[in-house]
């Protein structure tokens, strides 16, 4: 019984330690301003290393360059 208790306590400490290590890193930089085409409303946001994307209510994914803020690509969702 004590071995099981010790194992569970050790496992809990490992999980807590991994969460602290994972979330103690620097938060990703978000763009200060995102300019969408006229009439578009954002419903979701995601990002990669050198890009970020906005999903709009018109079922489009707008992919922007992180450095310049220029629109790279538009993907239509059917």
Q: Which residue ranges make up each domain of the chain?
A: 2-76
Q: Which CATH number fits domain 2-76: 1.10.8, 2.40.10, 3.30.420, 1.10.150?
A: 2.40.10
What local confidence, expressed as pLDDT, does residue 46 receive? Answer: 92
The CA distance from 33 to 31, in Å, is 6
Give the integer Cα–Cα distance in Å for 74 and 59. Answer: 10
What confidence tens digit (pLDDT) does each residue in 13-38 have? 999 999 998 888 776 777 788 888 88
Is the Cα dihedral 24, 26, 29, 32 positive or negative? positive
Instruction: Please report which confidence band the pLDDT of residue 69 belongs to, taking 50, 70 and 90 as the band edges.
Output: confident
What are the tens digits of pLDDT across the range 47-61?
888 899 999 999 999
């Amino acid at each position: 019984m004590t071995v099981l208790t010790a194992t569970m306590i050790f496992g809990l400490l490992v999980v807590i330690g991994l969460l602290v290590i994972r979330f103690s890193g620097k938060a990703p930089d978000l763009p200060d301003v995102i300019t969408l085409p006229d009439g578009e409303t954002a419903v979701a946001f995601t990002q990669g290393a050198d890009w970020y994307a906005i999903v709009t209510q018109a079922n489009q994914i707008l992919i922007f360059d992180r450095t310049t803020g220029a629109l790279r690509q538009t993907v239509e969702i059917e």
